[in-house]
Amino acid sequence: MKGPTHRQIGAFLEVCRDFHFSQAARRLGMAQPQLSRTVRELEAYIGTKLFARQGRKVSLSPAGEVFLREVFQLPAILGRAVEGARRAAAGEESVLRLGFVGALMGEELLEVFERYRSQHPDTQLSLFDLPPSDLLRQVESAELDGAFLGVKPKELPKGLSSFQWKEEPVLACLPREHRLANRKRIKVADLQDETVVVLAASLAPSYRDFLDELLETEGGRNGPYLETNGADAILSMVVAGCGVALLPRSALRKAEGRLVAVPLAGTQARLREVFLYRSGESRVVSPLLELLRG
């Protein structure tokens, strides 16, 4: 055997998704014995077990943990190679893979994409709307070249850098009949007993940290959080009177006229949005950073 095959690496990575051979085999469209045989072939080539089995429980062996850290980027690398070859055949020199939070897709970000393409027509844009947690993971794994986040994580993974490219105020989003809807400006303390509709912390942990700090330092917090899984759901729940929300203006496009957005008093009620990228700017990312900095 000259080396591990793509099929063997794919089988290993699929098992690592949930450490369940039956489910991995189902996703791959093969019988479980065939999947087990493929993994054994890979282990035979490496010369050690990659998985530890205790009854029905499957986990990575120490060697498997090391192997996973090195190979989990291979599918993304292969995908980029295929994509790059296709782009080259179409006359485009490169592709820039960017992620963004769909709720923050305002005119300024659209203008960034438009200006980049007009200045660099030989580079194609490939854009992905993902939750912040997925954006961070995919930039770290090199699946994305960069990502636009609403809030900079308190701790960036090693090898990642960020650049603040935009700042906008956070607004109190209220049902139209809310007791505070006629105010010109609202103090955060005015909302301390309100139910606040938020994204699940697992989807946007940095934004949750931002809200926690804002609500605590600007007025205390007595009311509950009501979690949901997307900006559209947050806006719909506010319109329906389920609670209030704290969001930037760029997140309100789909609900304008259906709710009331009131500016918040206080210097901390501002969202400082960042562009996240891997340190040591790549040839394809550098022009975008120059555009943002300019």
pLDDT at 41 over 80: yes
The Cα 165–Cα 149 span in angstroms is 10
> Looking at the domain assignment, is residue 117 inside a domain?
yes
The SS3 assignment for 185 reads: coil
pLDDT at 291 over 70: yes
Mean pLDDT of 80-106: 74
For residue 234, what are the domain limits? 167-271
**70: CB partners within 8 A, 6+ apart:** none
Q: Are 139 and 98 in contact (CB under 8 A)?
A: no
Statement to judge: residues 259 and 117 lie in one domain = no
Confidence of residue 98 (pLDDT cuts 50, 70, 90): very high
Which is nearest to 107 in space by CA: 160, 168, 151? Answer: 168
pLDDT at 279 over 60: yes
> Looking at the domain assignment, is residue 255 inside a domain?
yes
Task: Tell me the average pLDDT of the chain.
Answer: 87
**What backbone torsions phi and psi does residue 139 show, to the nearest 5 degrees?**
-70, -40
pLDDT at 68: 86
Confidence of residue 195 (pLDDT cuts 50, 70, 90): very high
Confidence of residue 90 (pLDDT cuts 50, 70, 90): low
- Residue 60, domain CATH: 1.10.10.10
pLDDT at 203: 85
> Looking at the domain assignment, is residue 262 inside a domain?
yes
Confidence of residue 3 (pLDDT cuts 50, 70, 90): confident
- Report how far apart, in Å, the C-alpha atoms of 127 and of each of 38, 113, 194, 210 are: 35, 10, 36, 26
Statement to judge: residues 193 and 223 lie in one domain = yes
> Looking at the domain assignment, is residue 85 inside a domain?
no
> Looking at the domain assignment, is residue 171 inside a domain?
yes
pLDDT at 185: 92
Q: Please write down the HEC assignment for all residues of 143-160.
A: CCCEEEECCCCCCCCCCE
User: pLDDT tens-digit profile of 117-164?
Assistant: 999 888 888 899 988 889 999 999 888 999 999 898 888 888 899 999
pLDDT at 223 over 70: yes
Q: Are 135 and 144 in contact (CB under 8 A)?
A: yes
Confidence of residue 103 (pLDDT cuts 50, 70, 90): confident
Statement to judge: residues 254 and 284 lie in one domain = no
Statement to judge: residues 132 and 278 lie in one domain = yes
Lowest-pLDDT range, 16-30, 46-60, 62-76, 105-119? 62-76
**What backbone torsions phi and psi does residue 129 show, to the nearest 5 degrees?**
-95, 110
Confidence of residue 200 (pLDDT cuts 50, 70, 90): confident
Give ∠ CA 48-50-55 in degrees, rounded to 5.
110
- Residue 229, domain CATH: 3.40.190.10
pLDDT at 91 over 60: no
Residue 47, phi-psi category: left (phi > 0), alpha (psi -120 to 50), beta (remainder): left
Amino acid code (one letter) for 182: N
Statement to judge: residues 279 and 260 lie in one domain = no
Statement to judge: residues 279 and 238 lie in one domain = no
pLDDT at 214: 86
47 burial type by CB count under 10 A (0-12 exposed, 13-18 middle, 19+ buried)? exposed
The Cα 35–Cα 13 span in angstroms is 12
User: Please, what is the end-to-end C-alpha distance for the chain in angstroms?
Assistant: 53
Mean pLDDT of 245-250: 90
- Structural domain tally of the chain? 3
pLDDT at 17: 86
pLDDT at 276: 95
Residue 160, strand partner residues: 278
Lowest-pLDDT range, 7-21, 72-86, 128-142? 72-86
Helix 32-46 / helix 21-28 crossing angle, nearest 10 deg: 100
Q: Higher pLDDT residue, 75 or 54?
A: 54
> Looking at the domain assignment, is residue 87 inside a domain?
no
pLDDT at 224: 87
The Cα 119–Cα 186 span in angstroms is 42
CB count in 10 Å sphere of residue 240: 12
The SS3 assignment for 45 reads: helix
Statement to judge: residues 205 and 277 lie in one domain = no
Helix H or strand E encompassing 247: strand 245-248
pLDDT at 81: 67
